[in-house]
Amino acid sequence: MLIAQYFVEFIFYSFLGWLWESFYCTLKERRWQDRGFLFGPVCPIYGASVVTASVLFRFVPVVSSPDLPLWEMFLICMAGSAVAEFGTSWVLEKRFHARWWDYSNIPLNIQGRICLPVSLAFGAVGVVIVKFLLPLMAQAHTAFPALGYEGLALGFAILFGADFALTEASLSALLTEIESLHSEFNEKAENTVERITQAPKRLEENLEERKKRIAAAAARHASGLSSGSRRMLRNIVAFRPAPGIPARRLAGMNAGEHLKEALRRIEEKKAEDERNKKG
């Protein structure tokens, strides 16, 4: 019963996190943004973080006291959010060589994965959740039958598992293709570097030519992407090279970035055509 209850909470808080991310990014970009790593309307990092806070402030004696000072609660929430963000970013980058957020342009960041201003904001939101949202959820539990939780948990588990498997398979296939394209052109660039070390101008011309070729290939590929793959590319902030690829082979030659740029141009052209039709 308790496991089913927490899993339902996990899905609920993940959905709230998706709503917040999509709403914020929509306002920022001034067009609809379907945020999240998965295809479904959930951001698991939010669900996992809130459920962890619920367990922590309920069962751990040191912090479960109602007399716990707000500043201590704030520090716990801030530190917990930082650990969750850093860990999730690191795992996703190691698995998919991509980042879904990057704070490199924000002061006081660590590897662009976390930054002090965002952690402070999450700490404040965490206090609000612990003080107000979690007690409301506790009251709601008493009015909902145990069998209902088990049924919801089973249904959500099936949907979440299918969504995760589909996302994993689709993203792995997409990134495998990107890496293949990336490796092909970078291998040629590396061979060019080794052969023409005494001719900088010619080398520069060869690299520029390969940049154009990979951009053209990315444009052709982007036009055939599925709607799901396009959504993945929109939500990925930046691609990172696989381990072992020298940095000098990557300048201007990142296939994933070229693919994102090609997709952006295609969608801008489509939007412009639609505006012209209406006009």
Distance CA 208, CA 189 (A): 10
Q: How many domains does the chain have?
A: 2
Q: Check whether residue 139 and residue 175 sit in a common domain.
A: no
Same domain, 103 and 136: yes
- Whether 110 and 171 map to the same domain: the answer is no
Residue 114 dihedral angles phi and psi, to the nearest 5°: -140, 160
The residue from 144, 175, 194 where one domain ends is 144
The DSSP annotation for 86-111 comes to: HHHHHHHHHHHSEES---TTSSSEET
Instruction: Give yes or no: residues 24 and 121 share one domain.
Output: yes
Per-residue confidence (pLDDT) for residue 52, from 0 to 100: 95
Phi then psi dihedrals of residue 109, to 5 deg: -105, 160
Q: What are the tens digits of pLDDT across the range 7-30?
A: 999 999 999 999 999 998 888 878
pLDDT reported for residue 191: 58
Confidence (pLDDT) at 252: 46
Specify whether 86 is located in the same domain as 27: yes
Phi, psi for 115 (deg, rounded to 5):
-150, 155
Overall average pLDDT of the 270-276 stretch: 80
Task: Assess whether 135 and 12 both reside in one domain.
Answer: yes
pTM (2 decimals)? 0.82
More confident residue, 198 or 220: 220
Structure tokens that stand for 131 in this block = 């003080």
**159-184 pLDDT per residue, tens:** 999 999 988 887 877 777 676 666 66
| Structural domain containing residue 60 | 2-144
254 and 202 in one domain?
A: yes
| pLDDT score of 193 more than 60 | no
Residue 155 lies in a domain: no
- Asked if 14 and 57 sit in the same domain, the reply is yes
DSSP string, 155-181: HHHHHHHHHHHHHHHHHHHHHHHHHHH
**Residue that finishes a domain, picked among 144, 175, 209:** 144
